[in-house]
Every structure is written in C-alpha cells, then in structure tokens.
Amino acid sequence: MYYFCSDKKRVNVFQDKTTKKQFSMEIMTKEAIRNEVGKTWFLADDNMLAAKLIYISGINGFDNYLGQKDQYDIKSVIHIQEKPKGIIMRIAKLFSAKEIAISYKNIKQISLVKYERYSMVEFMLEGQTIYFGLDNQNYSDILDYLKSLKKVKLEETLKSNVPIEIKQKFESILMKNTEVLPIKMDNIIASKWKRVFNYLIDSLVISIISIPFVIFNLDNQLQQSLVTLFVFLFYYLIMESAFRTTIGKLITNTRVVNFDGSRAEDIFNRTICRFIPFEPLSFLFSNNGWHDNLSKTIVIDRKLRKNYRQRVVL
C-alpha cells in the first residue's frame, strides 16, 4: 500500500526493536563487522543492492574519506549487503572499499521518499540518520530490496522530515554530475557552432598526436594515412568511452550522453559511424549527426542542462 501526494510518495520500513545506544559511524575492520552483523556461509545467497544509491550524509567514516568531494569525484559506488544480524554499507572504488556495519537492533526505521525526479532513503538510528539519494528509474529495485531485508515491515506515512540542507546537498551533487539524473529535453543539445568547434579542435589534437608517427613514414603515403586513421579511431574511442568527452568537448563544456540524458554506452558504434562519407557535415542539417542518431547518443551543453535542472527539475 503506497501513499500518493502531488510530488512525493513515502514508504517507511520499521524495525520493531530499537535501542538507546548511538551507533558508531566510523569505518570498521572486518572483525568488527563480523561481530556487529555476523557472517554468511560461503555458499549462501548474496542479498546485495549494488551501485544504485548516491551517498549524501550521515556516516562520519564516509565523510572523512570523501572530504569535500562526492562519490562521483573519486569514481566510487555504494553497495548495501545483508548479513544475518544486519547490513553492511560500503563505498567501493576499484578493488578497495570502506565499510560500516549496522545490526538490525540499531535500526529505528528506514524511510523511502519519492519526489518528482529523484528519491531519498533515510536510515534512521537512535539520534542520527544516514541519507542516500537515487534516480527514480531505480526506485522499484530499491523498494524491493528494502522489502527483502529481514526483521522489517512496511508502513505508510504522510510525514516528510528530510532536512532542507540534506535536500540541498543532494541537489548540489546532481548539479555537478549532470549525467546522474536523466532528462529528456531537446533544448539542452549543444549548438551547431559548438559542434563545429569540437570537430576543429579534436581534428587539431589528432593531427598533433599523429605527427610523431607520421615523420617516420614520410615516403609512404599509405602508411601515413593508416596511422592518422588509427589515431582518429582510438582518440574518439578512448576519450568518449572513458570520459564521455574529448578535448574539444572539454573546452566547449559539452558531453556525450544517451537520448534520455543517461550515461552514453554505445561509444564503439558511435566511433565507427564517424567513417561514413561526409559524416562530419551531417549535423549541420539536423540537430544530431549520423554518428549520434545511429548510436542513440547526443552531445549536450552542460551549462544549458544545469540551468534547466535548476529551473524545472529540482
């Protein structure tokens, strides 16, 4: 049973037993985690919510680890994993992770609050609260995960107590990382002039990169052409796969995203389509170039997207 009211929906997950003891929010050792929430048998199912939450506030150890940055600045993700006596919260980066564990007896309630464009999760302990944000595209998965946690029950409520400073901090994270919250809006597409500048700047960069390879093949025109071709291919493939941008796009503050504004994935096809004859001129006759449409990607103006989000979304 869910509650609908204009722009928000709230579902509460309550723990029956509460404690007066305030829980430590510092990073914990493996031994401390086992003592707090127990351990699972090595063949047991791994009930984990992986990389769907955005950390906002409430864990001292995470705050100290991040400093003035957010999880996207250090390319990390949030995992929550269930254990026999509670849950582990983990901020993971490559092969390292910082973890805390919370036993069920220390959880007062868990609240899931849905707004128009994003949602928030509150893990409420005695005297303190941990806050996470999420994209509404992941709302159902996160709700299902909360329902799967042991020793908890669902209860609806009309009350919303998310502090304004927490909402502002989450919105600030979304402002800085414009690809996190998808937006489908044609008027944030980069202008044709910026696309022209991107092409000219990137062509210059490719030419400069090619020079050291070309000078060793001055007498072989075919080899020179092949070298330039391979530099062109790997420049776009590497830059847009790893960073969703190029040198030209960095200068013009533009970025490659999917049609809905989410993280672009089909970079390989996007790059291959650049070899279609006269393709560089295709975007002059429509909002997108052929390599955009065929890979279902667009180049957006990050400043326009930020302004749009401030005006409409948040």
Residue 160 pLDDT level (bands cut at 50, 70, 90): low
pLDDT at 32 over 70: yes
State pLDDT tens for residues 82-121.
Answer: 998 999 999 999 888 999 999 988 888 898 988 877 889 9
pLDDT at 168 over 50: yes
Q: Please give the pLDDT value at position 60.
A: 93
Rounded CA separation 78/76 (Å): 7
pLDDT at 178 over 80: no
Q: Please give the pLDDT value at position 210.
A: 87
Question: Which is higher by pLDDT, 178 or 226?
Answer: 226
Residues, the chain, total?
A: 314
State pLDDT tens for residues 194-229.
Answer: 999 999 999 999 999 988 877 776 667 777 788 888
Cα–chain center distance at 212: 38
Q: Please give the pLDDT value at position 183.
A: 63
Q: Please give the pLDDT value at position 2.
A: 38
Copy the structure tokens of residue 93. Answer: 């980066």
Q: How is the chain classified by DSSP, letter by letter?
A: ----BTTBEEEEEEES---SSPPP-S---HHHHHHHH----TTS---EEEEEEEEEE--HHHHHHHTT--TTTTT-EEEEEEETTEEEEEEEETTEEEEEEEEGGG--EEEEEE-SSEEEEEEEETTEEEEEEEEGGGHHHHHHHHHHSTTEEEEE-S-----HHHHHHHHHHHHHSTTSS----GGGBPPHHHHHHHHHHHHHHHHHHHHHHHGGGTT-HHHHHHHHHHHHHHHHHHHHHHHS--HHHHHHTEEEEETTSSB---HHHHHHGGGSTTGGGGGGGSSS-HHHHHHTEEEEEHHHHHHHIIIII-
State pLDDT tens for residues 261-273.
Answer: 777 889 999 999 9
Rounded CA separation 86/105 (Å): 8
pLDDT at 5 over 70: no
Residue 184 pLDDT level (bands cut at 50, 70, 90): low
State pLDDT tens for residues 246-257.
Answer: 999 999 999 998
For residue 83, list its beta bridge partners.
Answer: 86
Return mean pLDDT, the chain.
83
In this structure, of 12-26, 103-117, 238-252, the range with the lowest mean pLDDT score is 12-26
Rounded CA separation 132/57 (Å): 7
